[in-house]
């Protein structure tokens, strides 16, 4: 341990690379005799493009693990904790009327066609199953475009992180004669656009400046300026809009504490902690309230980062952040000297403020 930071503790990476530490025992009766079998908790989360949390209710999932079948229906919040025996599993979903399945993944692996994934007995890292849907219901406004289309969703990333400001942003997508405008009153607003070249123009809330619009899942990452054009070739796209509060904006004056906070940066020193492929235990030297997006930006190369996990002792639950805009990240800020796990798909570096 150095400077209050725990590091150099890589945890074995299995095929799914996710986090869990709850292990229980369940007795399964066979011929009147109880057989102990390890049981694991598998988080299942729903994302609905362009919809509210209440729309996540009513999706039915059937999970089969080691011969045991479990059927569950999603609540309004969309998060379910499955208790399943360790072993090989499959998951299937019955999509409710008016929605279509976009993706079904366990960790980073596609399981939408019944592919198997593994819930290990001894390893504390397992997959979060994430199901992503979009609405097929007719919406008010102009008809959808004719011909081949791509489905595009948008994630608004603000610096500083201010979710209440998101509703005041607008984005206009223009593809030839096709033009639509969306707001951010709903999570991950989305629309179908014609295949081809489209112009993306964001109208930010007063006091903010749009720095870039990017497709971070493309290889290499595709980044354009506000008002630039992006090519869509069909399929599903998740774009990030990065905006910062402009210097001298009125909202900045309401946060004098933020002006006094650059103390760690003023010290000028950073130190690099090696991250090994898999999940590494570290602790934060960032000021309290630093967004997890800012912590993620300290990982180089950025392409190596998969997830940042944190265990909340008060709630007894894990929260997570992913650079994937389609992942329902719920780990949003860090506290000084908080311990968390940084999971990477290759050796990397974590450049944190020196203490």
pLDDT in tens, the chain (355 residues): 444 443 443 433 333 333 332 222 233 333 334 344 577 778 887 776 655 555 778 889 999 988 889 898 888 766 777 888 888 899 999 888 878 887 788 877 788 888 898 887 765 555 678 887 777 654 555 666 778 888 788 888 888 777 778 888 999 999 999 999 988 876 677 788 899 999 999 999 999 999 999 886 676 778 999 999 999 987 778 788 989 987 755 543 333 433 444 444 444 577 888 888 777 778 788 888 888 888 998 898 888 888 888 877 676 677 788 887 767 777 888 888 788 888 887 888 888 888 7
CA distance 186 to 179: 20
Task: Retrieve residue 327's tokens.
Answer: 């992942």
Q: Write down the H helix ranges in 147-219.
A: none
Q: What is the pLDDT of residue 39?
A: 76
The residues with which 24 forms a beta bridge, in sequence order, are: 39
Name residue, tokens 């309401």.
254
Structure tokens at 211: 């720095």
The domain over range 10-135 is classified in CATH as 3.40.50.300: no
| Closest by CA position to 63, among listed 126, 116, 134 | 116
Q: Following DSSP, what letter does each residue of 30-52 receive, concatenated?
A: ETTEEEEEEEEEEEEEEEEET--
> CATH 2.60.40.1140 region(s) of the chain?
149-248
Instruction: Give ranges for CATH 2.60.40.10 in the chain.
Output: 10-135
The helix/strand count (H/E) of the chain reads as 4, 29
Backbone angles phi, psi at 158, to 5 degrees: -105, 145
Q: Phi/psi of residue 270, each to 5°? A: -125, 160
Of the CATH numbers 2.60.40.1140, 3.40.50.2300, 2.40.50.140, 3.30.830.10, which one belongs to the domain with range 149-248? 2.60.40.1140
CA separation for the pair 59, 44 (Å, rounded): 12
Note whether 285 and 4 are within 8 A (CB): yes
The contacts of residue 303 (CB under 8 Å, 6+ apart) are none
Q: What is the distance in angstroms between the CA of the first residue and the CA of the last residue of the chain?
A: 13
The Cα diameter of the chain in Å comes to 75
Quote the CA–CA distance of 53 and 279 in Å, as a whole number.
Answer: 30
Q: What burial class does residue 106 get, using C-beta atoms within 10 Å of its C-beta: 0-12 exposed, 13-18 middle, 19+ buried?
A: buried
């Amino acid at each position: 341990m150095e400077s209050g930071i725990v590091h150099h503790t890589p945890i074995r990476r299995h095929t799914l690379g996710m986090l869990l530490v709850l292990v229980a025992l369940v007795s399964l009766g066979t011929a009147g005799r109880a057989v102990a079998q390890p049981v694991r908790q598998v988080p299942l989360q729903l994302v609905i493009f362009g919809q509210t949390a209440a729309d996540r209710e009513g999706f039915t999932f059937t999970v089969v693990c080691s011969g045991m079948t479990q059927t569950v229906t999603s609540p309004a919040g969309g998060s379910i904790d499955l208790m399943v025996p360790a072993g090989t599993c499959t998951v299937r979903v019955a999509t409710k009327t008016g929605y279509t399945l976009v993706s079904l993944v366990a960790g980073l692996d596609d399981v939408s066609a019944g592919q198997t994934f593994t819930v290990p007995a001894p390893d504390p890292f397992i997959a979060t199953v994430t199901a992503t849907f979009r609405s097929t219901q007719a919406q008010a406004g102009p008809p959808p475009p004719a011909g081949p289309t791509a489905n595009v969703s948008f994630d608004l990333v603000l610096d500083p992180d201010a979710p209440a400001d998101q509703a005041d942003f607008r984005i206009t997508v223009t593809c030839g004669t096709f033009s639509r405008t969306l707001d951010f009153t709903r999570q991950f607003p989305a629309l179908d656009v014609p295949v081809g070249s489209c112009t993306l123009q964001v109208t930010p809330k007063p006091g903010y400046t749009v720095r870039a619009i990017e497709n971070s899942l493309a290889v290499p990452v595709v980044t354009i300026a506000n008002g630039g054009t992006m090519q869509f070739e069909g399929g599903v796209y998740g774009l990030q809009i990065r905006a910062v509060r402009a210097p001298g904006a009125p909202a900045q004056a309401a946060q004098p504490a933020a002006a006094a906070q650059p103390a760690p940066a003023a010290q000028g020193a950073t130190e690099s902690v090696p991250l090994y492929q898999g999940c590494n235990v570290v602790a934060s030297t960032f000021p309290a309230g630093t967004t997890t997006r800012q912590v993620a930006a300290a990982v180089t190369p950025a392409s190596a980062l998969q997830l940042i996990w944190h265990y909340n002792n008060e709630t007894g639950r894990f929260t997570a952040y992913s650079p994937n805009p389609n992942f329902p990240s719920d780990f949003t800020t860090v506290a000084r000297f908080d311990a968390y796990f940084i999971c990477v798909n290759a050796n990397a570096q974590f450049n944190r403020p020196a203490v």
